Structures are given as C-alpha cells and as structure tokens.
Amino acid sequence: MDSQRQSFDLPPTATHDACAQVHDFLVAARGQPVTLAADKVTRTSTRLALLVATARRQWARDGHPFEVATPSEAFASGLATLGLTSAVLQTEDAQ
C-alpha cells in the first residue's frame, strides 16, 4: 500500500461541482495520508464542511493522518458558523 501523502487544494468556492471534485479526490486517496490546503477558500458550504469532517473521521478510524492546512479566514469563519470548527480543524491524532 502506498503511504505517500496525497494533497489537494480546496476550491475557492464550494459549488456542487467543486464538492464532487473533493469527493473524487478523497475516494482515490483513501488509505493514504491526506493534506487538504484550505488557504484559497473564499466561501465554504455545509456540504463541503460535512464532507471534510466525515473524511477526517474516517481517516482517523483507518489510522491514517489527515490534515486541513492553512485554513483561510473565510473557511475558518464558515466552519465556526456551522459549528464544525473542531470536527474539521482538529489535530491528526484527535479522534
């Protein structure tokens, strides 16, 4: 099994198509360490936040590192509004 870290830049705006691209990346990266760069996010959505939170939880269950790196102010603010900050931005080893 390949253990190289897989990286993906989250899209600036969380449209339906953008969320589908994130989902496709996560499906392909399952079983490997993942880093999602969130520095370019200008607007998030409930769908994207839940997708990332669910993926983080699955990666933790599978015992693989999962990181959301450099969250933009807009991304962090959107997560706070949704009450999902800790579910998305927790450290790798938090369960």
pLDDT in tens, 20-57: 999 999 999 999 999 999 999 999 999 999 999 999 99
pLDDT (average), residues 2-19: 92
37 within 8 A of 70, measured Cβ to Cβ:
yes
| Statement: the pTM of the whole predicted model exceeds 0.75 | yes
Residue 22: exposure state from Cβ atoms within 10 A (0-12, 13-18, ≥19): buried
Q: What is the CA radius of gyration of the chain?
A: 12
Answer CATH for 6-89 from 3.40.50.1980, 3.30.750.24, 1.10.150.120, 3.20.20.60:
3.30.750.24
* 84 pLDDT higher than 60: yes
